[in-house]
Amino acid sequence: MINDKYYNRRYVISGIAVVIVLVYIIRLFYLQIIDQSTKDQADNNALVKQTIYPSRGLIYDRNGELLVFNQPIYEITMTMREMGKDWDTTAFCATLSITRAEFDGRIAEIKDRRKNRGYSRWTPQVFMSQLKKEDIATIQESLFLFPGIQIRKRTLRDYTYKAAAHVLGSVGEVNQNDIDRDPYYSRGDYSGRDGLERTYEKELRGEKGMEVLMRDVRGRIKGSYQDGELDVTAKAGTDLHTTLDIKLQLLAEELLAGKIGSAVAIEPKTGEILALVSNPSWNPKVLVGKDRSKNYNALLKDPTKPLMNRATQAMYPPGSTFKTVQALVCLEQGGITPNTLYPCSGPGSKPIKCTHHHGSPVALDKAIEQSCNPYFWCAFRDLMEKDGYGKDNEAFRRRYELWRETVMSFGLGQKFTDTDLSEQSSGSIPSTRLFDKFYGKTGWKAITIRSLSIGQGEILATPLQLANQAAAIANEGYYITPHLNKNDSMQTHRHEIAIQKKHFEAVKDGMHRVMVYGTGRHYAIDTLHMAGKTGTAQNPHGRDHAIFIGFAPVENPQIAVAVVVENAGFGATWACPVASMMIEQYLTGEMKRKDLKNRIASAVLNESVKKW
């Protein structure tokens, strides 16, 4: 037996050696089989993988007019590993007409892994983007002086018309959230930031391709690797055919010049949006190219808020345009009949006065024609108090909730959740909970909320909702969700109004009388039977807003329109003529009332509205 205190330690030493060998074997296995980074670095010595960007899908109007297309642009990329110690930064900056501070700032941003998590010295990094051909002409001539610099061709959006900016949206560079959310993107990529460009981003963007190139020991490109067997062809994005009528859109934008407001036109039977105008707006081209950020910030700071889509986001009291809905609900729920008569004392009426004198008493058709406030207050009161008040006001509260649900069936007081319009406000049809908060559960009655009877008070609606309301009346009891994609059949998105069809005839007749005898008569079209309703929405911050809703022809409605002109006064003065000319343009193919067009289009109601 060996009696050596160090003899048994050989097992420990042998064990340590075995462990070290195993660690090296596992590490080599990981590096060569599992971790591809070293292989990628080795490949990058010989191979260059260049992304091939697809052409973005084109956008057309309903008649095949091209609205959005692509033009070639360029970006400068740099591969840090290929830029040696003698790389001439001063000459490079002079060639691009940038300062050394700008150069250093861009380099720091590229290397900042918090902003650019895909940074690698071995792969091309975007240094400057969205450059036009004239911007890169100088550097193309001296590219050989700057190893590691490449010029990559991309495409940028361009526009046929200076219109529909809110609808079409814009394309901008992705941020880190976009990259984290969707592996399709990498730093320097572009995506739709708003409007249709954002809604249909996945369809419009297409699929990237890749070209694998081989280079020699000096880093010079020698051609395709393996005759292009590893290359992937880019797939162009899908074209988008919209429901817009660009001629109608252009007319509406021209008529709203110098004004703050919006206009929406819908084809009632299909829910297709024919025009969606918000003013102030901008030329879509100002958010394209290297000046996009500067121009966007200027739009953001504009006090008239041009970036806000007033057609879908602005909320207004609907005023007298709501009387059409009020009449239908009262007819449906037994508050009135078409022949019910109510007295009117003109401006001396109480508790709600009329704006003018007219015959008294009045039935429904004349009440709509003359926009008689006392009539609709009396109709609302009689409906709300039809069942009395009962114990703790419960009978009245149930009646109010039924009224509210029926009103909301017109698409009011809520967003359209099954549409391709992403930027919307819900509007408001107040609930019992809201009034309970203000007045207590038993502290409010019909007279307390009487302003609701004429579309004022807590009721708010967007121009899109008002146009949809007109479409629902034109259809006599249903609407198809308003939408912008012509290829997307929305017929399954049919919403029934909680009103029987038999009640619509009386209201449509009253709206037709508005255009024959009432406030809209001066802007009626001789060859067309129009139905409409003017409105003047109270505005606590200034002059009242002018509103109009309507549709035509009455017999077979093909277009429904809503127009809002802020701080313009009476609906009959400004909103009605805009809507009338839009209807004429769409149904006849031309706008013959040139003097009227010139008068409305040249009128500047708000001096602060800029032309972008």
Domain end position, chosen among 237, 259, 290: 237
Task: Record the tokens describing residue 293, joined without a space.
Answer: 């950020």
199 and 257 part of one domain: no
Domain coverage including residue 461 = 246-602
369 and 350 part of one domain: yes
Overall domain count for the chain: 2
Q: Is 247 helix (H, G, I), strand (E, B) or coil?
A: helix
For Cα atoms 53, 167, 206, give the angle at the middle one, nearest 5 degrees: 20
Within-domain flag for 13: no
From 241, 264, 242, select the one nearest 253 (Cα to Cα): 264
From 167, 311, 265, select the one nearest 468 (Cα to Cα): 265
268 and 214 part of one domain: no
Within-domain flag for 32: no
Q: Residue 275's beta-bridge partner residues?
A: 265
129 and 183 part of one domain: yes
Asked whether the whole model's pTM tops 0.95, one would answer no
Q: Would you say residue 405 has pLDDT above 80?
A: yes
Within-domain flag for 63: yes
157 and 263 part of one domain: no
- Give pLDDT, residue 42: 47
389 and 457 part of one domain: yes
**Mean pLDDT within 412-426:** 93
Q: Which helix (H) or strand (E) is 126 found in, with range?
A: strand 125-131
Contacts of 194 (CB under 8 A, 6+ apart): 169, 170, 422, 423
From 305, 366, 357, 364, select the one nearest 330 (Cα to Cα): 364
- Strands 209-215 and 47-52, sheet pairing: antiparallel
Within-domain flag for 391: yes
For 77-131, what is each residue's pLDDT tens digit? 888 888 888 889 999 999 888 899 999 998 898 888 877 776 777 778 888 887 8
- Give pLDDT, residue 11: 67
Compute CA 503 distance to the chain's CA centroid, rounded to the nearest angstrom: 35
Alpha helices (H) in 353-497, listed in sequence order: 364-370, 373-384, 394-408, 432-439, 463-474
Task: Record the tokens describing residue 178, joined without a space.
Answer: 């976009």
- Give pLDDT, residue 1: 47
Strands (E), 477-572: 478-480, 494-496, 531-537, 545-552, 559-565
CATH number for the domain that contains residue 270? 3.40.710.10
From 596, 597, 600, 552, select the one nearest 574 (Cα to Cα): 600
184 and 297 part of one domain: no
Within-domain flag for 281: yes
What separation, in Å, do the N-terminal and C-terminal C-alpha atoms of the chain show? 100
Q: Residue 560, class by beta-carbon neighbours within 10 Å (0-12 exposed, 13-18 middle, 19+ buried)?
A: buried
CATH number for the domain that contains residue 205? 3.90.1310.10
Please tell me which residue, 292 or 213, carries the higher pLDDT value. Answer: 292
Within-domain flag for 533: yes
**Mean pLDDT within 567-590:** 93
62 and 86 part of one domain: yes
Sign of torsion, CA 511 513 517 522? Answer: positive
389 and 506 part of one domain: yes
Q: What band does 43 get if pLDDT is binned at 50, 70 and 90?
A: low
Within-domain flag for 37: no
For 430-469, what is each residue's pLDDT tens digit? 999 999 999 998 889 999 999 999 999 999 999 999 999 9
152 and 257 part of one domain: no
409 and 460 part of one domain: yes
Q: Residue 167, class by beta-carbon neighbours within 10 Å (0-12 exposed, 13-18 middle, 19+ buried)?
A: buried
Q: What band does 4 get if pLDDT is binned at 50, 70 and 90?
A: low
- Give pLDDT, residue 27: 72
206 and 253 part of one domain: no
Q: Residue 276's beta-bridge partner residues?
A: 264
Domain end position, chosen among 208, 237, 266: 237
